[in-house]
Structure 1
Amino acid sequence: MSLDKRKKAFVALGRFLSQFTSQGIDKKEDIPFNDLFFEVFKTQINRAEEYNSWFTKDNVLFAFENWSFALSEDQISTWLQAYQLHDQNKKTIAVIMAGNIPLVGFHDFLCVAITGHHVLAKLSSNDKYFIPLIAKYLEHLEPCFKGSFTFTEEKLKDYDAVIATGSNNTARYFDYYFGKHPNIIRKNRNSIAVLSGQESHEQLEALAEDVFRYYGLGCRSVSKIFVPKNYDFDVLFKAVFKYRDIIKYTKYANNYDYNKAVYLMSLFDIKENGFLMLKEDQSYASPIASLFYEFYEDLETLKRKLAEESDHIQCITTELSIEDSIKFGQTQLPKLWNYADNIDTIKFLMSI
């Protein structure tokens, strides 16, 4: 199957996904195979929270909507123009997917499929329904995809390379089992924000989206902020107040209560507003309903620190001048070329 056919299939998939947005679900005309797939996807979206209580309808629709934007013809063309893709021997790529947020494994699926390789996917039990549905839709759009996607719960075998996403602990096992094959093995990373103290209310509201989207479970969720000495945290608390209803979600509230109890029993000094706790901590990974903070003396020293500790950081959001940073409110809206852990997946797949 030609690259052009694969691209057209994913563009058509983007159009199909555009029916499912944060504003609601709306069936459109002229969408291929809509009569066969629309209601199936709608039902699965409505039931997602039954299988994974973190997958609320709002968060699932947010993920679908942003993938529909990413799979536009312009975005895909811009992404792939950086490569000299050509027909090559079809290899089988084992993809071990995470399940912390909806469709988190789809980018790896896309990269393998768009380069013409066979996807051998081991899904997370937390997110095991959407990507197989998408694969079925792609097979209807482009029959040449049939036989290109395999989903298994068994031990992986007969593969040529591995892309595995997990925690620092699972990465050790991945390295042991898959180290003899070409591989990308991802570990824990977190995202951070750097504040100057001069941010507007609107900018901090945008930052709040980076903190609270997906309940902070994504590697692109901001889990820590760096602030100047004497920073006024009341300004931040006022800006995030619009997200106060998050505490009404039982699972989030349970985490808030548990982590607050742990902090108080440990005599940690925390700042809190009833739905978010701030704790001074040098770590990058904060628990749910918590946001770590660390003071910095000057920006240049902080930049050096972040460069030295880049292996812990997925992305940086700030309004300051920091290399490779993004604006507030953008961490959960990655482009196709914003690779996890800054490892170019397409280049890896072309090298096999």
Structure 2
Amino acid sequence: MQFSTGGRLIHPIHELADILQKIVSDWLSKPNESGLDEAIDKTISEGFFEKSDVDHALNNLSLSVQRNEIIEWVFRNTDVQKSYSEIIIKNRTRKILCLHAGNLPLVGLQDMLAVLVSGVQYCGKVSRKDPYLIPSLLRYIQTQSSAFNIKFSLDIRDFRDELIEEWMFAGSEDSLESLKSTLEKNSVISTIHRSLIRIAHFSVAVIDQWDSKICADLIESIFRYGGKGCRSVAVVYSYFKLNELSKELIVESSKWIQQNGYPIRIAPAVQLRSAYNEAIGINQVQVGNALFQEGLVTIDDPGIIYWQPLINPNDVNSQFGHHLQQVYYVPVRNEIDFKFVDNLKFDTLQNAQSPPIWWQPDGIDVLKWILSK
């Protein structure tokens, strides 16, 4: 992959970071010129996502794709003795297929950026559930710089006979074998290939203290994106019983819904669970669109939140295994020492829906995975 048609073959990471930051910044700050306005309008008018979720995703993109953030991400994953130029030269003949999930606005953007930063050709199968936002950015990148090798489509058939040797996927285990078969049958991927599969689909919060800020952060971590992201909280482990905090949770959720313009839309599965819980005497509270309940944890709907007594964090991992993305905590006066718990991915509750560019889906740094070959 050549970064320009001029005399220089590559840009060092500092220059590349400048290019990416400027392109993303211009795409966001000149929405009419960049095509972003049209992408947002279609996304919202066609009912793919709520406006406040699109705004939140774009705002987090603006904060995370900064020059210093990109440089730090690369430095975290490269040998300081090894020239970044050497890495780019080595990677210019590689292709990586990114299969984007589409459950959230701009989901998969981190994979795309990691591929571009590493100098590999990006082959993106864009989800039909988010058909406007990522394509808008990709088209804008193509018009603004020759530094990146990009191919993308909504149709996997457009990658037929590519025989790509590396691919990335985030989604359900149930569809994985069928997907792999389709890719191989159409020669999209080679029979000998390397893959990065992410299947975590929810997070938990550990609450050992309480105030209005913690309450607001918890509601944001649950309600943002309709609870459909792997960083969304589905289980709360707390020193406090649900009925002790129910009034504050209801008030804060009402405030959140009003501020974010969310419709009040209680899913049929949530209504059925509420009726069942009432019939057998399970303690529960309807909090906005979500049902908070005590009792047995069976993660089955993003609108059902399980409120549990606090347990040892090691037991959280054994209970959920690879389906668990993050364990959130409140870093004020936490009485549990999180630093010495193995195999868990900790983050602060306030960062739940606003992660840095280098956050690790399924505990894997995607840039590290790309550069490790």
- TM-score bucket (shorter structure): 0.7 to 0.9
| Distance apart, 1:52 and its partner CA | 3.5
AA matched with 2:231: R
Q: Determine which of 134, 138, 142 is the counterpart of 2:137.
A: 134
In the alignment, what sits opposite 2:108?
A: 105
CA RMSD of aligned residues (A): 2.6
Q: Residue 186 and residue 111 in structure 1: after superposition, are their counterparts in 2 closer, same or farther (change >3 A)?
A: same
| Distance apart, 1:351 and its partner CA | 3.0
| Distance apart, 1:107 and its partner CA | 0.7
Q: Residue 3 and residue 163 in structure 1: after superposition, are their counterparts in 2 closer, same or farther (change >3 A)?
A: farther
Q: How many percent of aligned residue pairs carry the same amino acid? A: 20
| Distance apart, 1:201 and its partner CA | 2.2
| Distance apart, 1:274 and its partner CA | 5.3
Q: Determine which of 297, 300, 305 is the counterpart of 2:315.
A: 305
Q: Distance in 2 between matches of 1:232 and 1:277?
A: 11
Q: Determine which of 158, 173, 187 is the counterpart of 2:199.
A: 187
Task: Count the aligned residue pairs.
Answer: 327
Alignment of 1:152-231 (within 5 A): 152-155=154-157, 156-157=159-160, 158=162, 159-174=164-179, 180-196=192-208, 198-228=209-239, 231=241
Q: Determine which of 38, 47, 64 is the counterpart of 1:43.
A: 38
Q: Distance in 2 between matches of 1:17 and 1:272?
A: 42
AA matched with 1:36: E
Q: Distance in 2 between matches of 1:335 and 1:195?
A: 22
**3-state DSSP class of the match of 1:315?**
strand
2:292 is equivalent to residue 278 of structure 1: yes
**3-state DSSP class of the match of 1:12?**
helix
> Conserved in 2, the CA contact under 8 Å of 1:279 and 1:293?
yes
2:150 is equivalent to residue 148 of structure 1: yes
Structure 1's unaligned 5+ residue stretches are 20-26, 28-33
In the alignment, what sits opposite 1:56?
A: 50
Q: Distance in 1 between matches of 2:117 and 2:287?
A: 46
Q: Determine which of 60, 65, 74 is the counterpart of 2:59.
A: 65
Q: Distance in 2 between matches of 1:154 and 1:327?
A: 37
In the alignment, what sits opposite 2:342?
A: none
Q: Distance in 2 between matches of 1:311 and 1:191?
A: 11
Q: Distance in 1 between matches of 2:32 and 2:297?
A: 49
TM-score by length of structure 1 reads: 0.83
In the alignment, what sits opposite 1:23?
A: none
Q: Distance in 1 between matches of 2:11 and 2:251?
A: 47
| Distance apart, 1:98 and its partner CA | 0.6
> Conserved in 2, the CA contact under 8 Å of 1:194 and 1:227?
yes
Q: Point out the more displaced range, 93-102 or 170-179.
A: 170-179
Structure 2's unaligned 5+ residue stretches are 4-9, 79-83, 340-344
| Distance apart, 1:262 and its partner CA | 3.8
> Conserved in 2, the CA contact under 8 Å of 1:263 and 1:270?
no
Q: Distance in 2 between matches of 1:175 and 1:331?
A: 31
Q: Distance in 2 between matches of 1:78 and 1:195?
A: 31
Q: Distance in 2 between matches of 1:339 and 1:12?
A: 24
| Distance apart, 1:148 and its partner CA | 2.4
Q: Distance in 1 between matches of 2:101 and 2:65?
A: 21
| Distance apart, 1:141 and its partner CA | 2.1
In the alignment, what sits opposite 2:306?
A: 292
2:68 is equivalent to residue 74 of structure 1: yes
In the alignment, what sits opposite 2:6?
A: none
TM-score by length of structure 2 reads: 0.79
| Distance apart, 1:216 and its partner CA | 0.8
| Distance apart, 1:49 and its partner CA | 2.0
**3-state DSSP class of the match of 1:253?**
coil
| Distance apart, 1:173 and its partner CA | 3.2
| Distance apart, 1:131 and its partner CA | 1.2
2:118 is equivalent to residue 120 of structure 1: no
AA matched with 1:77: I
